[in-house]
Amino acid sequence: MPVAGIDVGSLTAEVVIFEQDIVQSVIVPTGANSRGAAEKAMEQALGAAGLEKADLEFVVATGYGRISIDFADKRITEITCHGRGAYFLDPSVRTVIDIGGQDSKVILLGDSGRVLDFAMNDKCAAGTGRFLEVMAQALEVELENLAELSNQARETVSISSMCTVFAESEVVSLIARGLPREDIARGLHQAIADRTAGLVRRVGLEEKVMITGGVAKNKAVVKALNEKLNKKLIVPREPQIVGALGAALLARDELAQKS
């Protein structure tokens, strides 16, 4: 009995189809139409799995765009879904760092995977995927090459502002002064680690820590956080689908309760 979870974020929409394990997962850009992105992601996932929408027994939606998903049977907060998804992937995880397109959050899990506490930065895009996109443009480098540029640094340039607008101006100014772009890139990654560590301190740092969300694919961010927290963060094979996976698992639970 297949179920599905869909996580509609500001930059991407993810769908996970689940039965005994993950059957199929899809990531598509959200664009200006969250409902359209959700429909597209679901259509692609179903097509790849050889299923029809009618084959799904239950669908849970999460993320900031969850309210617009009219084909969902239930809507659950992303905090709960990310915690559940991370716990499924590694039951030893107790701290989850999720850095998405427009917000970042740290979640503290109990022994059963239940959310005990969380801290969230959703007031601005500081330290998020959008922040990195803007900084990559300012440095005139492709986003996927930003981590590689950072790894070439010999020094770390201190970045004083984490506001995306002010940080972009600061980066442009630093480039104009002739500072190496790779040193600036390292400084940006260090600034993200510093800000994220502040969120971690608010909820507590446990022994096993997982990082999820699209920014987890940036190896320089992960390295900076490893050093800042003095931990080796667990990075899932596909960190961007953890929220959708958690939604799918909660859909399975809902189905079990009904049967």
Residue 121's pLDDT is 82
Residues 110 and 201 in one domain: yes
Residue-wise pLDDT for 63-96, tens only, equals 988 988 989 999 999 999 999 999 999 999 999 9
Domain span including residue 2 = 1-90+239-259
Residues 73 and 14 in one domain: yes
Residue 123's pLDDT is 63
Which residues on neighbouring strands pair with residue 29, listed in sequence order?
Answer: 12
pLDDT above 90: percentage of residues in the chain: 78
Residues 47 and 172 in one domain: no
End-to-end alpha carbon distance in the chain: 12
54 class by beta-carbon count within 10 Å (0-12 exposed, 13-18 middle, 19+ buried):
exposed
Residues 112 and 224 in one domain: yes
Residues 199 and 253 in one domain: no
Band the pLDDT of 122: cuts 50, 70, 90: low
Q: For residue 6, which of 236, 241, 210, 186 has the smallest C-alpha distance?
A: 241
158 class by beta-carbon count within 10 Å (0-12 exposed, 13-18 middle, 19+ buried):
exposed
Q: Are strands 115-121 and 104-109 parallel, antiparallel or unpaired?
A: antiparallel
CATH of the domain at 171: 3.30.420.40
In sequence order, which ranges of the chain are alpha helices (DSSP H)?
A: 34-49, 78-89, 129-138, 146-151, 164-176, 181-203, 219-229, 242-258
Which residues on neighbouring strands pair with residue 22, listed in sequence order?
Answer: 18
CB atoms within 10 A of CB 101: 23
Residues 11 and 104 in one domain: no
Query: Is the distance from CB of 9 to CB of 252 less than 8 angstroms?
Result: no
Residues 211 and 99 in one domain: yes
Residues 10 and 98 in one domain: no
Residues 79 and 134 in one domain: no
Query: Is the distance from CB of 202 to CB of 106 less than 8 angstroms?
Result: yes
Residue-wise pLDDT for 25-77, tens only, equals 999 998 888 889 999 999 999 999 999 999 999 999 999 889 889 899 999 99
Per the model's pLDDT, the better-predicted residue between 1 and 244 turns out to be 244
Residues 40 and 77 in one domain: yes
Query: Rounded distance, CA 243 to CA 62, Å?
Result: 7
Residues 194 and 107 in one domain: yes
Summary mean pLDDT of the chain: 92
Residues 193 and 108 in one domain: yes
Query: Rounded distance, CA 119 to CA 226, Å?
Result: 19
C-alpha count within 13 angstroms, C-beta hemisphere, residue 146: 28
Q: How many domains does the chain have?
A: 2
Q: What pTM value is reported for the model?
A: 0.92
Query: Is the distance from CB of 34 to CB of 12 less than 8 angstroms?
Result: no
Say which amino acid occupies 239. P
Measured CA to CA in angstroms, residue 155 lies from 151, 179, 186, 190 at distances of 10, 10, 8, 12
